[in-house]
A and B are shown apart, each in its own frame.
Chain A
Amino acid sequence: MQMKNSNDKAGFLGGVTASVTHELQNVLAIIKETSGLMEDFLLMNQAGGMPDLDERLGKCLETIKKQSYRGVTLTSRLNGFAHTSDSPQSTINIFETLQKMISITDRLFKQKGIDVSIIPCDTPYSIITDAILFQMIAFSCIECLIDAFQANTAIILAIQSSESQAAIQLLCNNRDLNHMDYRQKIIQTHHWEKINALCEQLGLKADISTDIPALLIFFK
């Protein structure tokens, strides 16, 4: 089990890292092309003069500045994500952890035409858990909903609570399906078994909502 966990974790970390570094390649590609364009302008100016050189160079610098900020945001997110594996057990704020997971996997899901978002939560729920496995559960739930309900959809995460229990709800915006249909679709995906196995390891419980196409991960 430990070996399988390590492989699964490595796969998850690798997938997320590949997506972010791919986006960083785009940032660098823009910076490289823009600085190349500045070089072109300077050469043209030397050759015969460019009346609007300052304005053009100014626009290029703006682009480089904007892309540099984008790059810094990406590396900060990636660094924060990498540090979640520092210790096997840690106290995590559920909302913050999910929010960070969404921001770093955003591009992966957008490639599939899916928008993933989270509704802000006022209550600072925390649990002591394996932060990577916890994020893998949420990630697998999103993939499960995508596979079950196909692309061109939105998935919304929310933390719901009552006096006796609290859960992460992962809701798919496809509300046309009846309970039996969407339950069947979710169970048929290969993710469902994995979600349950991961939840069992962390002492959490996975369920399927009875009123809307949503997955529930109970943590209290």
Chain B
Amino acid sequence: MNSQRINILLIDDEIEFISTLAERLELRGYASTIASDGESGISLVAKKSFDVAILDLMMPGLNGLDTLRQIKTIDTSLPVILLTGHGSTKDGMEGMRMGAFDFLMKPLDINELLEKIKLAIKEPAKE
């Protein structure tokens, strides 16, 4: 469970989900910060530097795609991995057109997420 201290921002209104995921990432050597809504996530991106953001698409208030748009105006190079609970890939594909690195379906496979994170921090972000 060793890796560099990569800074990951997790944005999702399902607190129990992101706090558990954050703990699992911490156990694997990553540094995690959580935000429970789009606004807090954007404000964290404006204040701190992250290596990758994991963002849920379906949130009350500012939704995932609007949050992604604003994050990209603050930090165009931040790779964003989207999470979707929808059975279809439509919103994920839309997010990728808007500059997201990739998307994953909930429930997650932690190994798949770790692979995406590794790929995301290697590749320069799409603009």
A residues adjacent to B (C-beta < 8 A): 18, 21-23, 25-26, 28-34, 36-37, 40, 44, 63, 66-67, 110-113
Contact = CB atoms under 8 A, between A and B. Distances in A.
A32 B16 contact: no
Interface of B: 14, 16-17, 20-21, 23-24, 27, 58-61, 63, 85-87, 106-108, 110
Contacts of A110: 60
B24 A63 contact: no
B85 A29 contact: yes
B60 A113 contact: yes
Interface secondary structure of B, over-half rule: loop
B20 A28 contact: no
Given A40-B27, A110-B60, A111-B63, A32 B86 contact: no
A55 to B, nearest CB: 14
B27 A26 contact: no
Given A25-B107, A26-B106, A33 B20 contact: yes
A44 B85 contact: no
A114 to B, nearest CB: 9
Contacts of B110: 33, 36
Nearest to A41: B27
Given A33-B17, A33-B21, A111-B63, A22 B86 contact: yes
Contacts of B17: 26, 29-30, 33
Given A25-B85, A44-B27, A112-B60, 5 more contacts: A25-B107, A29-B108, A31-B107, A33-B24, A66-B16
B58 A22 contact: yes
A33 B87 CA distance: 19
B20 A113 contact: no
Contacts of A112: 60
A22 B84 CA distance: 9
